Amino acid sequence: MSPEELAFLALALIAIVTGTLALLVRELIHTIVWIGVFFVDLAALYFLLLAPFLGVLQLGVYAGAVTILLLFGIMVTRKRIFSREAATGITAVPVALAVVAFIFLLVALPEFPQGELTVRSFDPSLLSQNLFGPGGPWLLLLGLVMLSALIGAIYLVREGRE
Amino acid sequence: MDLSILFGWVFLVPLLPALAFVIIGVLGERLGRFEHGGWIAVLLSGAAMVLGVLIAIGEMLNPNTYTDVSYTWFHVGASGPFANGVSFVVGTLVDPISALMLIVVTVVGFLVMLYSVGYMHHDEGLPRYYALLSLFLTAMLGVVLSDNLLEFFLFWELVGVCSYFLIGFYWRKPSASSAAKEAFLVTRIGDVMFLLGIFIYFSVYAMTGPNGGWAANGFLFVHGSASFIPIGAPGNSTLLTVAGLMLLGGAAGKSAQFPLDVWLPDAMEGPTTVSALIHAATMVAAGVYLLVVGSIFLGGYTSIVLFAIVAVGGFTTFYAATMAVVNTDIKRVIAYSTISQLGYMVLAVGAGFAMVGLYQLFTHAFFKALLFLAAGAIIHTIVTQDLFRMGGLAKKMRYTSIAFLIGALALSGIPPFAGFWSKDDVLASVYSQLGAHPEYWPFFILAFVTVFLTAYYIFRVYFLAFSGQRTRDASLPEAHEVPWVMLVPMMVLAGFAVVAGLFAFVPSFAALFTGVPGLATNVPPAYGPTDLLLSAISVTLAGAGILLAWGLWGNGRVYELRASSPVHSIRNLLLARYHVKAAYDWVGMVGMYTVARAADFFDRFVIDGAVKGFERSFRSMSDGMRRIQTGLVSDYATYVVAGVIAVFVLLLFVAPYLASLFGGG
Amino acid sequence: MTTLAITGFLALSFALFAIAIFGILTRRNFILLLVSLEIGMNAAILNFVYFAALAPVNAGSTNGLPGQSIAVVLIGFAATEIAVGLAIVLALNRSKGSINVADSTTLRN
């Protein structure tokens, strides 16, 4: 087993465990901790896949901004930060559905393109050229959509204030 | 004298009363000056009588069959066994037996119409009365003059409808309206059987007869002109038996023969004139007429049917007479008498002597109408029908009492009155068949005993009403003789009651009985010494009955019956009409309740169940749907995920499987 | 250049996606819902990166670039999504006094 494979296994294990824990712990703050670890772990995975630019983005956007935003959300909506969630039973149907989805995806695995991942690195400049080159106008359009979503979000927050 | 030119105008005979019906029906109370339409009805029925009697005389002079197919009702194209198609026609037919009926219906109809002017004078709703009575005459003449069974049946039904309306003429009386309904429903049973019989005859003769079973003019049931397969022909006797029994059922319904006799006594709720015309002389005779027509023109009856006819007629004769013995209502006694006498007619037809039955019909129509009109005169003057309140009327109503006496003598069969000749013929004709058919014996004996009963019950009525010094019930109005419009019809009918039996000795009149083609077996048998003995015995019996009535009821005697005496219980049984009506009620109730329960069950559990089941399933569906709509985001997410999974399952597994199943790529 | 079998990667992202589904279906706290969404989103982004890496490699080829480009865009999307989600959290909290989705079962206030 090559070091890369070992690293992948470890990272995958951590991702699954932290993702699960993030959803199962009853302390919301702990959720933030675990999801932070999860995001960092995924960033490591990107580095393993020789996508350092994505890894950095993941760290910056996810592990940084998103985690902080979630934490912020908890802080705003809670009087006491450390308060335990009401226990949410692991009901049968959603679990079954999740399991079924997973099994289903596994069953469908052969349908996906198969092969060895040839891991290599891209120069971020190539990435930006690709992003803004042929698909530039579309990217701008997407950015506009996201901007409008953000403005809507701000409006939503402001609305009830008066 | 050749009157046959009139045969082409015979359709006017029913149309004249129809005209009266239209005029009176349209103008209604505006005819107040004409006795509310009464005089118009009298006039037009009189015209019909003149024409009808002239036609009958023409038939006597030249007995033959004259058909006049005036109108093709509808035509069925060639198909199956009907190579030339079938035309259903409406036409008139004059032959000896319809001429005979023509006399009866028009004469009695006119006389009753005239009598009504006096009798109904004080009643309300007279335009309705005269219009319906005219319509009845039309329908009855239509029955008589129809040249095929289908037309016959239509008029037959119309007669029934008129009877229904006229029985219920005093519709404010609950008993009258229920009697009307009863009459309609009971005769309806017979009518349905009659219709079935028509169908069977139709199919039997249509499928198997020569010429495809059809007469040259395309319709089977034209009197006399159809060619019939003999009764003995293989394969048909069962069907013909059924058809004959159905015909008997129809006749029994109309002629109030056992077991469909219950309606006639109750039909006395109608005006007495209606009883005289419809429920004594004409409509009830239509059943017998049907049997006669069937016997002569539908190829005769099988032996089973003949026996059934004899049994029904013979039994009814006795059965109705016993009930007449104890009844205290003058009209009901005469009604039972009518049933009994109709039984004689049926008996004669069953014995194979259709024309004897018709002869009895002819004489009976006159003397029975006479009895009813005389009874009507009594009711008109003292306003009661209860015999035990009457008495001593002979002094006050001399002419009426004479008329009633003549009618009673005719009914009892005392020579030389009309009833004697015809009743004697009936008994003789049955007697002549006893050698070949010993199974007729009981019915012959019943019919014979009935002679005694008949004389007894009718003279019981006579003595109760007319003998003695005064009315038993002093509170009754003072009796007085009735006006001439009522007396004249009674006089004429009394004349007929005296001489109608003697008509048979007039050769040209007798030709009506012998002039029917293929009638050799239907004429009365030649009289031998035995028949004279029979006559002597029957007259003796009748005389004994009259004497008994005189001994028991003469001079206004009154009895107190002890409740314990056996006579009392018999009397109660007879007054209860052998509980037959109660049995019908019971059967009807049980039947109706059973059906109703079944229907209720069906309605409640099957139909309602289906409806409610739908409702419940939709409700539970909607309940389920509503329960799904929790508003919880997670639940919706669950459905989305489940749906997506389902779509993938379909796409990845089911669709390829189906494609392989149907041989697709 | 290292080579790795894609199967394990796919299994990982499937597992993460299943965890995300589980979270979305069971968690009643809106923030946990957002967390679940992010996990699922990451599982999806991972796939793009895998398949970008799966593309055949030629000298000077840019095969696989679009996959990574889309991953970049998606990360941006995720950030936006979180912002919008947070705005909803705040609005919910203001109108219902709670961020439990079980408390907001109607679309009206």
Domain co-membership, A77 together with A18? yes
Residue B608: partners with Cβ closer than 8 Å, 6 or more residues away: none
Task: Give residues with Cβ within 8 angstroms of B457, minimum separation 6.
Answer: B321, B324, B325, B333, B336, B337, B549
Structure token digits, residue A121: 């690195």
pLDDT of residue A23 exceeding 70: yes
Q: Quick one: A126 and A80 in the same domain?
A: no
pLDDT at A41: 92
By C-alpha distance, the chain C residue nearest B632 is C105
Q: Compute the nearest-CA separation of B653 from chain A (Å).
A: 10
Average pLDDT over residues B459-470: 83
Cis preceding linkage at B566, omega within 30: no
Selection from B510, B228, B487, B256 nearest residue B362 by Cα: B510
What is the extent of the structural domain holding A78?
1-84
User: Do residues A72 and A127 share a domain?
Assistant: no
Does the residue C74 lie in any domain?
yes
Please list every residue in chain B whose beta carbon sits closer than 8 Å to the beta carbon of residue C25. 634, 637-638, 641
In a domain, A129, yes or no: yes
Report yes or no on C10 lying in a domain: yes
Q: Does the pLDDT of residue B216 top 50, yes or no?
A: no
- Chain C residues at the B interface, defined by Cβ less than 8 Å, are 21, 24-28, 33, 101-102, 104-106
Considering the domain boundaries, does residue A107 fall inside one? no
Token pair 């909506």 in the structure block, residue: A77
- At residue C62, the pLDDT reads 64
User: In terms of pLDDT, which residue wins out, B566 or A88?
Assistant: B566
A153, A78: one domain: no
Q: What is the pLDDT of residue B382?
A: 83
8 Å CB contact of C101 and B630: no
| Residue A44, domain member (yes or no) | yes
* CB of B634 less than 8 A from some CB of C: yes
Q: Is residue C63 assigned to a domain? A: yes
pLDDT tens-place string over residues A24-54: 887 888 888 999 999 999 999 888 887 888 8
pLDDT (0 to 100) of residue B523: 53
Kindly report the nearest CA distance between residue B665 and chain A, in angstroms: 18
User: What are B225-255's pLDDT values in tens digits?
Assistant: 344 444 444 456 777 788 889 989 999 988 8
Query: Which of A23, A34, A38, A127 is most worth mutating to test chain C (most C CB atoms within 10 A of its CB)?
Result: A23
How many C-beta atoms surround the C-beta of residue B454 within 10 A? 28
Question: What integer best gives the mean pLDDT of chain B?
Answer: 81
Residue B237 tokens, joined: 């006797």
Residue C105: inside a domain: no
> Does B326 or B64 have the greater pLDDT score?
B326
What is the per-residue pLDDT for B639?
A: 85
- Supply the Cα-derived Rg of chain A in whole angstroms: 20
Cβ–Cβ below 8 Å for B641 and C21: yes
Q: How many domains does the structure of chain A reveal?
A: 2
What does the pLDDT read at residue A38?
A: 92
Q: For chains A and C, count residue pairs whose Cβ atoms are closer than 8 Å.
A: 237
What pairs with residue B525 in β-bridges? none
Quick: pLDDT tens for B494-550.
Answer: 998 888 878 877 777 777 776 665 554 445 555 667 778 888 888 888 888 888 888
pLDDT reported for residue A87: 57
Shortest CB distance from C53 goes to which of A49, A153, A154?
A: A49
Q: CA–CA separation, B211 vs B606, rounded Å?
A: 52
Cα angle B618, B620, B621 (rounded to 5 degrees) comes to: 60
Q: Is B304 exposed, middle or buried (0-12, 13-18, 19+ CB in 10 A)?
A: middle
Q: Report DSSP letters for B510-558, one per residue.
A: HHHHH-STT-GGGSPPPP-HHHHHHHHHHHHHHHHHHHHHHHHHGGG--
Q: What is the per-residue pLDDT across A57-85, written as a single tens digit (0 to 9) for each?
A: 888 888 888 888 888 888 887 766 666 66
What letters, b where the CB count within 10 A reaches 16 and e where it falls short, cover B136-152? Answer: bbbbbbbbbbbbbbbbb
Question: Residue B225 has what pLDDT?
Answer: 39
Angle at CA B427, nearest 5°, toward B421 and B429? 95
In a domain, A32, yes or no: yes
Chain B residues with CB inside 8 Å of A101's CB?
Answer: 641, 645
Please give the interface size between B and C, counted as residue pairs whose CB atoms are below 8 Å apart. 22
Residue C57 lies in a domain: yes
CA–CA separation, A141 and B313 (whole Å) = 108
* pLDDT for res C86: 86
Please state, in angstroms and rounded to a whole number, the distance separating the CA atoms of residues B255 and B605: 43
Residue C32, pLDDT score: 86
Q: Report if residue C42 sits inside a domain.
A: yes
Residues of B with CB under 8 A from a CB of A: 634, 638, 641-642, 645, 648-649, 652
Report CA-CA distances (Å) from A21 to A139, B34, B367, B377, C23: 35, 113, 117, 115, 11
Q: Is residue A16 part of a domain?
A: yes
**Domain span holding position C26:** 6-100
What is the per-residue pLDDT for B36?
A: 72
Nearest to B107 by CA among B372, B488, B492, B510: B492
Distance of CA B93 to the CA centre of its chain: 21
Contact A118 C53 (CB under 8 A): yes
Please check whether residue A14 lies inside any domain of the structure: yes
Instruction: Give me the CATH number covering residue C12.
Output: 1.10.287.3510
Which residue among A31, A58, A157 sits closest to C32, beta carbon to beta carbon? A31
pLDDT-derived band at B387, boundaries 50, 70, 90: confident
- How confident is the model at residue B264, as a pLDDT? 86
Q: Is residue C106 part of a domain?
A: no
Q: pLDDT band at residue B205, thresholds of 50, 70 and 90?
A: low
Put simply, the answer to whether A23 touches C53 (Cβ < 8 Å) is no
- Over residues B399-404, the mean pLDDT reads 89
Residue B466 Ramachandran class (φ > 0 left, ψ -120 to 50 alpha, else beta): alpha
What pLDDT, on the 0 to 100 scale, is given for residue B524? 56
Say if A8 falls within a structural domain.
yes
Could you report the predicted ipTM of this complex, rounded to two decimals? 0.86
Query: What is the mean predicted confidence (pLDDT) over C61-77?
Result: 79
- Residues B65-84 as b/e (b if ≥16 CB within 10 A, e otherwise) read bbbbbeeeeeeeeeeeebee
- The verdict on a CB contact (< 8 Å) between C16 and A19 is yes
For B551-580, what is the mean pLDDT? 73
Lowest mean pLDDT among B355-364, B411-420, B551-560: B551-560
A7 and A53 share one domain:
yes
Cβ distance B159 to B136 under 8 Å? yes
The confidence score (pLDDT) of residue B325 equals: 85
What pLDDT does A84 receive? 65
Mean pLDDT over B647-656 rounds to: 83
Given A23, A54, A84, the domain boundary residue is A84
Least confident of B74-78, B613-617, C52-56: B74-78
On the 0-12 / 13-18 / 19+ scale of CB atoms within 10 A, B662 is: exposed
Tell me which of A95-104, A118-127, C54-63 is least confident: C54-63
Asked if B630 is an interface residue toward chain C (Cβ–Cβ < 8 A), one would say yes
Between CA B499 and CA C33 the distance in angstroms is: 117
Nearest residue, CB atoms, A97 vs list B642, B648, B649: B642
Position A37 scores a pLDDT of: 92
pLDDT-derived band at B85, boundaries 50, 70, 90: low
pTM score above 0.90:
no
Above 70 in pLDDT, residue A109?
yes
Mean local confidence (pLDDT), C44-50: 87
Tell me the nearest-neighbour CA distance from B639 into chain C, angstroms.
10
> Is the same domain home to A76 and A127?
no
Task: Evaluate whether residue C107 is within a structural domain.
Answer: no
pLDDT at B232: 41
Task: Specify whether A27 is located in the same domain as A79.
Answer: yes
What pLDDT does C2 receive?
59
Q: Please indicate, yes or no, if residue A101 is contained in any of the structural domains.
A: no
Q: Do A117 and C80 touch (CB under 8 A)?
A: no
Q: Of B10, B39, B9, B47, nearest to B23 (Cα)?
A: B39
Task: Give the residues across from B236 on adjacent strands.
Answer: none
Nearest-CB residue to A23 (from C6, C23, C72): C23
The partner residue sitting opposite C24, judged by closest CB among B630, B631, B634, is B634
Q: How far is CA C107 from the centre of its chain?
A: 25
Which of C25, C28, C105 shows the shortest C-beta gap to B630? Answer: C105
CA B509 to chain centre: 26
Of B191-195, B314-318, B530-534, B552-556, give the lowest mean pLDDT range: B552-556
CA distances (Å), origin C107, targets B209, B295, B472, B630, C92: 85, 89, 96, 12, 11
State the distance between the two ends of chain B, measured CA to CA, in whole angstroms. Answer: 102
Hey, are the CB atoms on B638 and A104 less than 8 Å from each other? no
Q: Following CA atoms B620, B622, B628, B632 in sequence, which dihedral angle do they give, to the nearest 10 degrees?
A: -130
The pLDDT tens digits for B317-367 are 998 888 888 888 888 889 999 999 999 999 988 888 888 888 888 889 899
Residue A34: CATH number of its domain: 1.20.120.1200
> What average pLDDT does the segment B137-147 reach?
88
pLDDT of residue B454 exceeding 80, the answer is yes
Per-residue pLDDT tens digits for B251-263: 998 888 888 888 8
CB-closest option in A16, A45, A69 to C83 = A69
Q: Which residues contact B563 (CB under 8 A, 6 or more apart)?
A: none
Query: Cα(C92)–Cα(B633) distance, rounded to whole angstroms?
Result: 13
Determine the length of chain A. Answer: 162
Confidence grade of residue B212 (pLDDT, cut at 50, 70, 90): very low
